[in-house]
Amino acid sequence: MDLVLAIFVTLVGAATPILIAALGELVVEKSGVLNLGVEGMMLVGAIAGFAGQFYTGNPYFALLCGAFAGLAVSQIFAFLTLSLSANQTATGLALTIFGTGLSALAGAPFSARPVSLMGPLFPAELASHPLLRVVFGYAAPVYFSVIMVFAIWYFLQRTRAGLILRAVGENDHSAHSIGYPVNAVRYAAVAFGGAMAGVAGACFPLLLTPQWAERMTAGRGWIAVALVVFASWRPFRLLAGAYFFGLVMTMELYAKAGSGPLSSIPSELWAALPYLATIVVLVLISIRRDAFTNAPACLGKPFLPTS
């Protein structure tokens, strides 16, 4: 039982950055924009969050720094793809390369310098209890990620603004013809996705690894992008998918520890499983065309108003 509880607590922490980034990307794609630069935005958010924590020691300020950094970088993508109608796929890939290089340059002075991890949100009596820590033993971003699952579902399904965003993603010309500002809606969606990716990146030095390392997100941004497709653009499926990937990553950690039944399976196999699973899911979806029925009709297509 102790092992099961420890695994669950660890997988929740590992899944949280993926879930936050994927939720932001879901909103972006619902507006009809495909942003493949999630990995780059996460890395920029990671170094901004690390710097904020290093200089102030305030983890909430560090999360805010990560959010602003991710938002700022996302607007470069938005300007190129929405205002200049650049190819979204190529621009997203360029954004990842840009974010990787920028974070490495900005993070060079912080190499091997530690920061303190973010503590549990609830009092120690609850957070350290053998059983209650499963519910109360996490830092604020964990609860934020779960709340955002419900908030985004409600926004998309129960609000007028969410209906407008979905209308822009399904038929941008029809939305434009009845007076909705398509590009303004998409700018806002991209900004939200960038802020969420920045927060997700800041979670790495605050929740997982209390020191700076280049490419510390280790491809989690790509998993977040694939997870949106895997979840068929539904928030609650994102929650289940993120926790599944978190479980696989946790198994890798316990396999590396070299104890228990997991030690018989090479840790390298556990490390590769999330990315193998991503490839398998995308291949299956490409075979089953009906799996794309929930995809926004204008996803990845530039909006070129006729008048």
Is 157 part of any domain?
yes
**Residues 140, 16: Cα–Cα separation, whole Å:** 11
- Closest of 134, 132, 104, 136 to residue 119, by C-alpha: 136
| DSSP string over 136-191 | H-S-HHHHHHHHHHHHHHHHHHH-HHHHHHHHHHH-HHHHHHTT--HHHHHHHHHH
State residue 287's pLDDT score: 63
State residue 58's pLDDT score: 95
Is 307 part of any domain?
no
Is 304 part of any domain?
no
273 or 60, higher pLDDT? 60
Asked whether the predicted pLDDT for residue 259 surpasses 60, the reply is no
State residue 250's pLDDT score: 81
- Residue 9's domain comprises 2-294
State residue 267's pLDDT score: 66
The model's pLDDT over 163-222, given as tens digits with 9 standing for 90+, comes to: 999 999 999 999 999 999 999 999 999 999 999 999 999 999 999 988 898 899 988 999
- 155 CB-near residues (< 8 Å, 6+ apart): 161, 162
State residue 71's pLDDT score: 97
The model's pLDDT over 142-161, given as tens digits with 9 standing for 90+, comes to: 999 999 999 999 999 999 99
Give the dihedral sign, CA 37/155/303/67: negative
For 56-169, list the strands marked E by DSSP: none
- Under a CB-based contact definition with an 8 Å cutoff, are residues 141 and 207 in contact? yes
Is 78 part of any domain?
yes
Is 179 part of any domain?
yes
Is 163 part of any domain?
yes
CATH at residue 75: 1.10.3470
**What six digits make up the tokens of 163?**
């209906």
Is 300 part of any domain?
no
Asked whether the predicted pLDDT for residue 284 surpasses 80, the reply is no
- Look at 42-56, 90-104, 108-122, 249-263 and tell me which has the smallest mean pLDDT: 249-263
The model's pLDDT over 24-53, given as tens digits with 9 standing for 90+, comes to: 999 999 999 999 999 999 999 999 999 999
**CB neighbourhood size of 293 (10 A):** 8
Quote the number of domains for the chain.
Answer: 1
- Is residue 291 very low, low, confident or very high in pLDDT (cuts 50, 70, 90)? low
**Residues 180, 53: Cα–Cα separation, whole Å:** 40
**What pTM was computed for the model?**
0.92
Is 302 part of any domain?
no
**Residues 196, 43: Cα–Cα separation, whole Å:** 12
